[in-house]
Chain A
Amino acid sequence: MIYNIPYIAVVALILIGLYAVIFKRNLIKIVIGITLIESGVNLFLITLAYRQDSIAPIYHGEISRLMSLPVPHALTLTSIVIGVAVLALMLSLVIHIYRHYGTLDARKIGREEE
């Protein structure tokens, strides 16, 4: 059971994030929702990398113990970097939207006649 807690956290994070993206009207909350989904996926990748009794794949003298394979770590780092880019882009779009409409309510945006 104790080993399953990270996986439960992953599913909970992703579901909360999806709930925010689908049901929330405030654009900032939608952005937060996407960030939550991303954290969930990253946590999942990190959890996969864990092996019992293994050490982090960094050489520091003690080489008798097993090292865990660093591929998921590399994937997570890449994913975090991409996530930051997407987050910055979304927030800058939100700023632009706020300048145009003076509101962040999704129901009041993009409804004007041209």
Chain B
Amino acid sequence: MNLETIITHSPALIVAVPLLGAFLTPLVGKINDKLRNVFVILTVGLTTFFVFLLANDIFSSGNIRTYVFGGGTPITDGGFAIRILFEVDGLNAFMAIIASILALACVIYSWAFMKENTGLDKYYTLILLMVAGMFGMILTGDMFNFFVFLEITSISSCVLIAFWTNKGKAVDAGFKYIVISATGALFILFAIAILYSQYNALNMAFLANSIQYTFLDKIALVLLIAGLAMKAGIVPMHMWLPDAYGRAPSSVTLILVGATQVSLYGVLRMTFTLYGSQLTIPLKQIGDTSITMNGLLGITLIALALITILVGVLMALKQTDFKRLIAFAAVGEIGYIVLAIGAGLTAMGTSYGNMAFRGGIFHIINDALDVGLLFLVAGAIYYATKQTSLNQMGGLSRNMKYTTVFFLIGLLAVAGMPPMNGFASKLLIYQSTYQVNPIIAIVAILCSILLLAVFVKVFHSAFLGPKLPKFKDVKDVPKSMLLAMGIIACFIIFFGLFPEFVVNNLVKPAADAIINNTNYITTVIGGAVP
């Protein structure tokens, strides 16, 4: 049992460990509550260990690792063997790191945050199921498998959103979420069926190799992007997101942020790996200008992204509920990622196009950490004061020193101020979008400033001001919650201080996987897989 063996099997273990842990949790919970919490944290910790081991191997060697479930003989002549293949390249490893950090912070945070709730066996089971589903979506190289894990994630996250069933609004948010995600998932399944009908395969690399870009393929692409955009919360399909983020327990919101980012990963994987080789072909010739697929798709995404940013930021301005406000800011932040992807698509092949992809991918991890930290702070304030409305808060910095510091870190990071990580990725996005069109960059910068204004207002009304008599006995939150916030804050500061290191070692391999899909295809088609 040496290290190489563990790395070889880790793609399967990353999904299997939380899945097994999920169904063992109720049994362990029968013995003791503390033991169950330790067991859950150990399970997620072990998964995180495998993720980092695998990611370290992928990033240092530049290889693509595959893991095969099932036999290798094709049933039909000249066809592709029917089996499930896990394929891990730079992008997968990058997303797995995000998911593992968020999952670890979530279970540590839950220890104190959810202590007073009943039904925690089910809560932890669902959390682990959701983690397993997220990792499955990230690591799989099979279209139908992707759909199955997507459904596992959305079913478990829907129940977690509605976990506080004593509140009508939480149940309402859960229902909204399941309607949107079920419809989106069925769109994706329909697209998968269309692809299968033409190419008799479900493997992503095989499909990418043989894709012809027929009329049906275009329909499938639109369905895939629409279905995944519903789950990622891009305007006009964003209305579930503020409700779900705002009503779910804060620890769940943190992991929901991760699930949203994984849906964005799905958009990247489907668009760039599946259709990557066909994106630059011209569609129509009008006079001297030819309309290409990437230009058309890129401009659509840029337009959607700008609306998303504007809606998110402007709606955040008028919210009085703390968590809903952060949720709208999260909508805006997702807009930035989509903006970078759209800009990269329009300028595909140029150096600033590559820069846009890097900025977008870097912003995925930054957004997950920043917004996640703010949600944890909102949860901490709710835990200490039982208040969610900003009008009821004030002077909290006097009682909750550590929480205030974490909020300041999150505030600066979300608004893209140096030296936090949000600045590094947003600068890349501004630079590259300026090359596409200066107006886009100006709108993006203005919205970022508005975001700062929003959070300064929150900081003022919640933390500054005189000590309120009703918060006289408020104490800072328990250690486990501080530890979870501390882990995320450490990553934020580290990424902010050494952006060069992160971009070169983590982001660049992931962006290269988007820009060039040949490696992904040849690993499977070229006979490297048994």
Binding site for B on A (CB under 8 A): 14, 18, 21, 27, 30, 34, 37-38, 40-41, 44-45, 48, 69, 71-72, 75, 78-79, 82, 85-86, 89-90, 93-94, 96-97, 100-101, 109-110, 112, 114
Contacts and interface: CB of A to CB of B under 8 A. Distances in A.
B168 A97 contact: yes
A79 B193 CA distance: 12
Interface stretch (B54-62, B179-187, B398-406, B504-512): B179-187
A93 B182 contact: no
Most central of A14, A82, A94, A109 by chain B CB within 10 Å: A82
A71 B168 CA distance: 42
Chain B contact surface mostly: helix
Nearest to A14: B190
A97 B179 contact: no
A14 B191 CA distance: 13
Interface residues of B, number: 33
Given A34-B186, A78-B148, A86-B182, A48 B175 contact: no
Contacts of A41: 186, 189-190, 193
Contacts of B389: 114
A113 B158 CA distance: 23
Most central of A45, A78, A85, A86 by chain B CB within 10 Å: A86
A96 B165 contact: yes
A90 B151 contact: no
A41 B75 CA distance: 25
Given A34-B179, A86-B151, A89-B178, A96 B190 contact: no
A43 B334 CA distance: 35
B89 interface: no
B151 A82 contact: yes
A50 to B, nearest CB: 11
Contacts of B379: none
A29 B179 CA distance: 12
Nearest to B148: A78
Interface of B: 75-76, 82, 144, 148, 151, 155, 158-159, 162, 165, 168-169, 171-175, 178-179, 182-183, 186, 189-190, 193, 196-197, 200, 202, 243, 388-389
Contacts of A78: 144, 148
Given A78-B148, A89-B159, A100-B168, A45 B193 contact: yes
B182 A34 contact: yes
Closest 4 pairs (CB-CB, A-B): A100-B168, A110-B172, A96-B171, A93-B175
23 contacts: A18-B183, A34-B179, A34-B182, A34-B183, A37-B183, A38-B182, A40-B190, A44-B193, A71-B202, A72-B193, A75-B144, A75-B196, A78-B144, A82-B151, A85-B155, A86-B182, A90-B178, A90-B179, A96-B171, A97-B172, A100-B168, A101-B168, A109-B168
A104 B188 CA distance: 29
A48 B200 CA distance: 10
A42 B23 CA distance: 29
B168 A110 contact: yes
A112 B247 CA distance: 14
A55 B158 CA distance: 41
A89 B518 CA distance: 41
